[in-house]
Chains A and B, each alone.
Chain A
Amino acid sequence: MSIEKKGDCMTCAEKVLIMTGNHAAAYAVKLCDVQVISAYPITPQSPVVEKLMEFVESGEMKAEYVAVESEHSAITVCISASVVGARVFTASCANGLALMHEMLHWAAGTRLPIVMAIPNRAVAAPWNILNDQQDSISQRDTGWMQIYCRNNQEILDTVIQAYRIAETVMAPVMVCYDGYVLSHTLMPVNMPDEKLVREYLPPYRPHTVLDPKSPRNINPVTLADPRMNAEGVLCHGYMELRSLLQKSLLGSVSVVAEAGREFGRIFGREYGIYDSYRTEDADLLMVSIGSLASEAMDTVDNMRAAGMKIGVMHLRLYRPFPAEVIAKAVRETGCRGVAVLEKNVSYGYEGAVCSDLKAALFDHGVDVFAHSYILGLGGRNVSVSDIEEALNRSYGYLEKKGPDRIKGQEWINCRV
């Protein structure tokens, strides 16, 4: 992790280091001048926090590392530190993330800009320490924003953007990346200049600070209807406060877009709401979140070489779901169908991303089929040819009309 040479960035001379996705997340946290870190180690997240402990111990980072006895306590420390005005970070996954579930709602409801890295891992039972995306998808409805990454550079850059987004929207952000597949794979990463990161990310200005000199009650019991507080001010009921959270999240798509554009201006790597590859004249779109969308670029190159018009769309921003942006993008390709490949299941239905995408296409009158494919659960290897197998199955539906286009979900490379 010590090789240094000049990068290819046009606007700045960046060092290129070889590192894992976990260390990319840790370096980003250091660059963001995070003040409080609390986490409980869990495979494959442990190297993120081990690296941060090293930074704190050596004095490279002027931060407080709070060791705790569980993930529930880790997120609670983050909430407390954020309420008193600190920039905070945590990381977790799988059953550890599930243990945080109650407090994830507290963090979002309190409108705290906490950033959490999630090296995605399967949730037990049965026990499994390997990669899929069931953990973060299961936290989809907590009010946290979710951004997915395709490689280690995107992890580093996205953590930096996440603080800017969180502190603008006043909502917490999960930065999700595939456990092991990215968390434990070393690859070249351009390291942004710390002065430029400070220019991109101004110091955190909290909206409400819990301070003994100016006592206040944050999150009192809030009943159904608006009512007067002790000072005679009419305060929102629960529903109004929740409506404001929803409004902020729905309005934050443009904040994410702006954060990605500005990142491009300063660091030479621009980010959008989604990423597309060879979609311009595609008949079929492969849609996914995370590293599958990277692997699929090689699949699509192979299939294009065989004359099949297929493109890849990576839904970088998954919550809030940018329905209008995505529906418009799908319409503009002129494709006739989408195949959604994902490493999660909404048990009893289909892949969660597929359902969300279908709703967006339906609302915006985009008349294409959408097929759900499940791959790579619990660390099952996903090769270029596994993706090709799924895309081939949907490709056969391009000439079908109406209800004939409907096809049930399929599990690829599952030997039951």
Chain B
Amino acid sequence: MADEPGKAKKYTEVIWYGRGGQGAITASQLVAEAACIEGYKGITTAPSFGAERRGAPVAAFLRLSREPIRIFSQVTDPNIIVVLDPTLLPILDLRTRFDKNCTVIVNSTRDPVELHLDGFRKMGIADITSVAVENGLTIAGVAILNTPILGAFVRLTDLIGMPSIETAIKNKFGGGKAERNLAAARIIYDSTRIYERG
């Protein structure tokens, strides 16, 4: 762990988990671009280093700070965990590996108890796959989750406003494609179920 438990962290740290092709890395980059628009001075995002393959588990790391960020090591002690593919949950073993004060965002139709994720301080769950498919966000039959998940990220975290995310999406996609992505992100923003520990 980069920091001792209990010590105030200098940066907000996020880990995105998904499978190659679902958009975990792009989602992290879109938040980075939105953070740039909002004037964050410290922004770093990187994929888990190595050879990524379609369908294989991948991770992306994001750090945000109002001060410049000087470290580039992989995030091991995140504040926020985003899981784009719920079939990864058994191997991720989030409850054992991470602090219960994390905010966890999961693409699922189930609730925290069913997902064995009860106990985390704050959770956001949304059916991102269905919304992606309904909005035509698929490539070769695979749902692309990178933009809809951002609706849940904005709703749960207070880090970035929806207008900056929308600008980042428009800059990346443009035209009708941007509209479909924006629509999906807005639907998820409204439909994310929030669970907070009592």
Contacts and interface: CB of A to CB of B under 8 A. Distances in A.
Contact of B44 (A16, A131, A185): A185
Interface in A16-71: 16-18, 43
A331 B172 CA distance: 51
Contacts of A184: 46-47, 49
Given A5-B37, A188-B41, A382 B49 contact: no
Given A3-B36, A18-B32, A185-B46, A295 B41 contact: no
B76 to A, nearest CB: 7
Interface string B33-44: 100110111011
Contact of B2 (A16, A178, A385): A385
Given A129-B51, A295-B70, A185 B168 contact: no
Main secondary structure, interface of A, reads loop
Given A2-B171, A18-B29, A18-B33, A381 B45 contact: no
B36 A16 contact: yes
A303 interface: no
Contact of B49 (A151, A180, A294, A385): A180
A297 interface: yes
B36 A384 contact: no
Contacts of B69: 187
Given A3-B36, A18-B36, A186-B29, A298 B71 contact: yes
A379 interface: yes
B10 A298 contact: yes
Contact of A294 (B3, B45, B47, B72): B72
A377 interface: no
A181 interface: yes
Contacts of B36: 3, 5, 16-18, 188
Contacts of A16: 36
Question: Which residue of B44, B46, B70, B72 has the most chain A CB atoms within 10 A of its CB atom?
Answer: B72
A285 interface: no
Interface string B51-94: 10000000000000000011111101000000000000000000
B72 A182 contact: yes
Interface string B10-45: 100000000000000000010011001101110111
A381 B59 CA distance: 15
A385 B1 contact: yes
Contact of A130 (B10, B33, B49): B49
Nearest to A44: B49
B50 interface: yes
A162 B71 CA distance: 25
A35 B45 CA distance: 32
B77 to A, nearest CB: 10
Interface in B73-125: 73-74, 76
Contacts of B41: 188
A3 B168 contact: yes
Contact of B43 (A180, A188, A291, A294): A188
B191 to A, nearest CB: 28
Contacts of B47: 184
Given A131-B49, A180-B46, A187-B44, A297 B70 contact: yes
A383 interface: yes
B175 to A, nearest CB: 14
A352 to B, nearest CB: 22
Contacts of A187: 43-45, 69
A383 B76 contact: yes
B72 A291 contact: yes
A129 B50 contact: yes
A295 B73 contact: yes
A76 B72 CA distance: 35
Interface in A207-265: none
A230 B172 CA distance: 63
A131 B32 CA distance: 23
Contacts of B3: 384
A381 B44 contact: no
Given A18-B33, A18-B43, A384-B2, A130 B72 contact: no
From A16, A188, A295, A385, name the one whose CB has the most chain B CB atoms within 10 angstroms: A188
Given A298-B70, A384-B2, 12 more contacts: A3-B36, A3-B167, A130-B49, A181-B49, A186-B32, A187-B43, A188-B36, A188-B41, A294-B70, A294-B71, A379-B50, A382-B73
| For the complex of A and B, 6 pairs with smallest distance between CB atoms | A185-B46, A180-B49, A2-B171, A294-B70, A3-B36, A383-B73
Interface of A: 2-3, 5, 16-18, 43, 129-131, 151, 178, 180-182, 184-188, 291, 294-295, 297-298, 379, 381-385
